[in-house]
Amino acid sequence: MRSAQDLAERVRALDGRGYKAYGAVGGSWAFEDFTLHVDHVQGDPFAAPTRVRVVVPPEVARLPEASYGSRVRALGTAAFLARALGGAAREAPRVRGSGRSGEIDVETPGQEVLAQTAVQVDGAGVVEARFGVGLPAGGRRILGREGARLLTVTVPHLVRTALLASAHDPAEILRHAEVNEDAEHLRASLAAEGLIAFVADGASLPRRSGVDDRPLEGEGVVLFNSPESLRVTLEAPNAGTLTGMGVPAGVTLVVGGGFHGKSTLLRALEAGVYNHRPGDGRERVVADADTVKVRAEDGRAVTRVDISCFIDGLPFGQDTHAFTTPNASGSTSQAATIVEALESGARTLLIDEDTSATNFMIRDRRMQALVPKEGEPITPFVDRVRELHRALGVSTVLVLGGSGDYLDVADTVVAMRRYEPHDVTDAAGDVASAHPTGRTPEAGPPLRLPEARVVDTRCLDARRGRRDVHVKVPDLRTLLFGRGTVDLGAVEQVVSRSQINAIGRALALAPGLPFPPGRSQPAGGPELHARSESPGGSALSGGGSRTVAALLDAVEALLEERGLDALDDRRPGDLSAFRRHELAAALNRLRSLRIV
C-alpha cells in the first residue's frame, strides 16, 4: 500500500492544478499507525467534502477490552470517541481557501447513544472513523501544501487526540461503556416488573433550552426524588442497586400547576427509549422501547388510516375507516398518529396536553348537553384510554393540568409540585367520587386494531433527476425523499439528522427487501397487531405491495443482519440507528404514500 509520505508528495505536486486533479488522492494510504481510505473525492471546492475513513488497529487504539467486549459496551465507547473526534475537529487549525476548503465534518452524536457510523468500534477493538474533509483550493486551483498538511498532519493529529485510548482517561472510556450497558439492562428489566418506565432517584431532567439538549445546570435544578409509594428497586450490572420511580403499566396521569415540571418529566420519558451519555442526567431514565409520543399535528397528510374508533361521521359523509387528507385538523391528526403508532407496534403512548387537540382529549358535561353526540364525530380520548389498556394492552401516560375528567380513568396519578413528584392516586380517587363529572361516556363500538394497511411500494420512489436515490436532510425536521418533502417536525422522538438520513435511505431500500422469515408477532399477540406477511405468505407479498408492518420488519431484519452500512454502500459517516416507529412516522408522512 502507498504510504503517507507518498500521499504528501503526491498532493504537494498537485499545487496550482485544476481541482479535479485531486482525484489522485483516492484510495488507501498506509500511515504509520493507521490506514486512511479516501472513499470519495469531491469534484469541486464547493461540493460536499471528500469522504475519508480512518481505520485504527487494536494494538494502536489500545482500548480497554471491557470497553468493547459486548455490543452495547462498544456502542457506548464509540459514541464517546465520536464526540471526542467532533471536538478535536472543531479545535483543529483550519486551512483557509475557497468554498469548503479545510472543513472537517464529523457527525457528532448528541446526548443519545445510538449505533452510528461516525465512529465504530468492533468486537476486536478496531476503531473506524468516518468524516468529511474539504480539500483546500484557492479559487478552483489546488492548494498543494495545505492539502498535504490537512491529510497528513491534521488527520493524524485528530486520530491521536480523539481515537486512541492514550488520549483519554481509561476510567472515562469504561464509564461510557458501562453506563450504556446499565441503561440497556434497566430498560430490559421493566416488563418483568410490570413497569413501562423508570426514573432513577438523582436524575436531572430539565434541559438548557428548547434547542439545547444538554442538562440544565445551577443551583435551581431539582434532582428527581421518587414518591415512596411508587419507589422501586432495580439492579444494574455496573451501578448496582438503584431506586427510583417505576411507572406502572396502565393509565398514568401527570398533573400539577403550570411550570411545575410536568412536560419536563414527560419529555424525559420520551427520551427514555434511547440511552444517554454519562453526565446527561437522564442516563438512568428508561422507557419501554416501544413508547411513542403522540401529538396533534394539523396540516399533516394522512393516507387511508382507520380512525373510526375516535372519529366517525364527519360532515359531508367523509369516510373515516380509510381516512385520507392532505391537510389534517388537530383532532384528526392526533387520532391518525395514535392509530399509526398502534400499527407500528407501540405499547405505550405519551401525550401532553400542551401539544394535544382539546376536542380530541375531552368533552365535558356542558358541551355534551349543548352539542349532542349525534352532532359530534369525535369520541374523546378520555372514553378510550382505559380500553386501550384493557383490550389492547397499550399503556398511556398523560400530562394534564386543565381537565379533571381523566381522574376517573387513571390507575396512577403523579402530581408535580416544584419539580417534585408526589403520588396522589388516592386523593384523585376521592376527588373523582366527591365531584362526579356528570359526563355520559361516549365510546361507541369496541376498540380494535385496524386492518393492516398495504403499501403500494412503487410510491417509495427515491429517484430525482439523474439520481437513483435522492435523500437529503437539510435540517432536523425535514427529509427530502425523491421529489417529495417529509416534515418530521412533530415527530418528537427523532433526535438527529443522521437518524433522518438513515430513515430516508431505509425507505428507499424497503421495496426491494426480502421478507424476513418468522417475524413481527408483537407482544400483544396476533389479534392485537396489524400483522405482517409470513414468508411466501399471501398474495400481497409479491407485486410491489406489502403491509406497513412487513416493511418495518424487513428493514429491522436488514439492520440486524448487516448493520447501518446496509443502508448505503458508500460507507458514509452520517447514519445512525432509528426505531421502527420513526421509520413508520416518516412513511406515514410521505405525501406520495399510496395504500392499496
CB of 297 to ligand ADP, least distance (A): 19
Q: Is 263 in the site for Mg ion (CB under 5 A)?
A: yes
Q: Mark 331-370 with x for binding to Mg ion (rule: CB under 5 A) and - for no binding.
A: -----------------------x----------------
Q: How far apart, in Å, are the Cα atoms of 57 and each of 31, 53, 106?
A: 12, 13, 20
CB of 154 to ligand ADP, least distance (A): 39
CA dist., res. 395 & res. 475, Å (int): 32
- Binding segment for ligand ADP among 159-167, 260-268, 297-305, 373-381 (CB under 6 A)? 260-268
CB of 352 to ligand ADP, least distance (A): 7
CA dist., res. 54 & res. 383, Å (int): 57
Q: Mark 209-248 with x for binding to Mg ion (rule: CB under 5 A) and - for no binding.
A: ----------------------------------------
Q: Is 205 in the site for ligand ADP (CB under 6 A)?
A: yes
Closest-CA residue to 355 (of 299, 403, 400, 295): 295
Residue 135 identity (one-letter amino acid) = L
CB of 499 to ligand ADP, least distance (A): 24
Q: Is 523 in the site for ligand ADP (CB under 6 A)?
A: no
Closest-CA residue to 358 (of 304, 406, 395): 406
Q: Mark 65-84 with x for binding to ligand ADP (rule: CB under 6 A) and - for no binding.
A: --------------------
Which CB sits closer to ligand ADP, 258 or 536?
258
Which CB sits closer to Mg ion, 262 or 453?
262
Q: Which does 256 bind (CB under 5 to 8 A by kind): ligand ADP, Mg ion, none?
A: ligand ADP
Which CB sits closer to ligand ADP, 220 or 445?
220
- Please give the grid coordinates belonging to residue 422: 408526589
CA dist., res. 507 & res. 568, Å (int): 12
Q: Is 527 in the site for Mg ion (CB under 5 A)?
A: no
Q: Which does 221 bind (CB under 5 to 8 A by kind): ligand ADP, Mg ion, none?
A: ligand ADP
Give, as one character, the DSSP assignment of residue 443: -
Q: Is 398 in the site for ligand ADP (CB under 6 A)?
A: no
- Please give the grid coordinates belonging to residue 444: 361507541
CB of 355 to ligand ADP, least distance (A): 11
What beta strand segments (E) does 482-562 contain? 484-487, 545-547
Q: Mark 478-507 with x for binding to ligand ADP (rule: CB under 6 A) and - for no binding.
A: ------------------------------
Kind of pairing, strands 112-113 and 275-276? antiparallel
With a CB cutoff of 8 Å and minimum separation 6, the contacts of 560 are none
DSSP of 127-188: EEEEEEE---EETTEE-HHHHHHIIIIIHHHHIIIIISGGGS-HHHHHHHHHHHHHHHHHHH
Q: Is 260 in the site for ligand ADP (CB under 6 A)?
A: yes
Q: How many CB atoms sit inside 10 A of residue 66's CB? A: 15
Near ligand ADP by CB under 6 A: residue from 86, 109, 256, 380? 256
Which CB sits closer to ligand ADP, 47 or 221?
221
Q: Is 206 in the site for ligand ADP (CB under 6 A)?
A: yes
Q: Is 217 in the site for ligand ADP (CB under 6 A)?
A: no
CA dist., res. 575 & res. 505, Å (int): 9
Closest-CA residue to 331 (of 312, 369, 358, 366): 358
CB of 421 to ligand ADP, least distance (A): 10
CB of 290 to ligand ADP, least distance (A): 24
Question: Quick one: how many helices (H) and strands (E) in the chain?
Answer: 15, 29
Say which residue the cell 409479491 belongs to. 542
- Please give the grid coordinates belonging to residue 158: 485528530
Q: Is 426 in the site for Mg ion (CB under 5 A)?
A: no
Provide the binding-site residues for Mg ion, judged by CB under 5 A. 263, 354
Provide the binding-site residues for ligand ADP, judged by CB under 6 A. 205-206, 216, 220-222, 256, 258-264, 416, 419
